[in-house]
Amino acid sequence: MWRENRLWGENRIAGELAKLGWRVSPRTVAKYRPKHLGRGRGQHWRTFLRNGGQLVDQANLPDAIAWGTRIGFVVAALLVSGGFFGGGMGKERPGALIALLWVGVVVLAASLITLGVGLIRART
């Protein structure tokens, strides 16, 4: 299974084995992963941004809105990660930097809604 599905993690493989009647913990699956196989880590940021740019191109948005949407995805990724890690620096409760996370979520939502509307209009 590891060779054919490199992006699957231990939990997914344990779940698939359970469907076949084999009860195995994810830790056991990880223990028997072949050492020579690299771990699939999913999409890289470069791939994510390239795919997002291609979607923006397909949406046929006006230039200013298209660039705003592209930049929105990048800014949202930076704000969400910065807010997540910066907000956790408080000792007892989340620090003031947690607001960056929420701003990033709003920017991401606005970019996704703009892209979705553009893609729907492009299909009709």
State pLDDT tens for residues 53-88: 888 889 989 999 999 999 998 899 899 888 888 887
Over residues 24-48, the pLDDT tens digits come to 999 998 888 877 766 656 677 778 7
Q: Residue 105 and residue 109: Cα distance in Å, rounded? A: 6
Sketch the domain layout of the chain as residue ranges: 1-42, 45-123
This prediction has a pTM of 0.60
CB 2 within 8 A of CB 40: no
b/e per residue 80-115 (b: at least 16 CB within 10 A): beebeebbeeeeeeeeebbebbeebeebbeebeebb
Three-class SS of residue 4?
Answer: coil
Contacts of 24 (CB under 8 A, 6+ apart): 14, 17, 18
Let me know if 45 is exposed, middle or buried by CB neighbors in 10 A (0-12, 13-18, 19+). Answer: exposed
CA angle centred on 103, ends 101 and 108, rounded to 5° = 95
